[in-house]
Amino acid sequence: MRHMKLITSAQNEQLKHLSKLLSQSKVRREYGQTVLEGVHLLQVYLEAGYTPKQVYLPESKNTHPEIQINQQIGRRLYYLGRKRSLV
């Protein structure tokens, strides 16, 4: 069974931070964080033995065949509600 955390509010602090990471290199440097976009990059990151702090996926992708990361990610996985836009 999947442990699913659904973010539906544009006012969610995690979503706001993610949006800043995506759009501002200054914020990425300040927090020492980056954003990996795409399933392939995430899979390579996991295969290299790293563990991401958080993973965000559109809710519509939660049954997509390429999304086989849930067991490796566990409680770090968040789904974005259908109408959420990051930038």
Residue 59 pLDDT more than 90? Answer: no
What's the pLDDT tens digit per position in 5-39? 888 888 889 889 999 999 999 999 999 998 998 87
As given in the structure block, the two tokens for residue 55 are 């993973």
What's the confidence (pLDDT) of residue 66? 62
Burial 29-62 (b: 16+ CB within 10 A, else e): eeeeeeeeeeeeebeeeeeeeeebeebbbebeee
Residue 85 pLDDT more than 70? Answer: no
Residue 87 pLDDT more than 50? Answer: no
Average pLDDT, the chain: 79
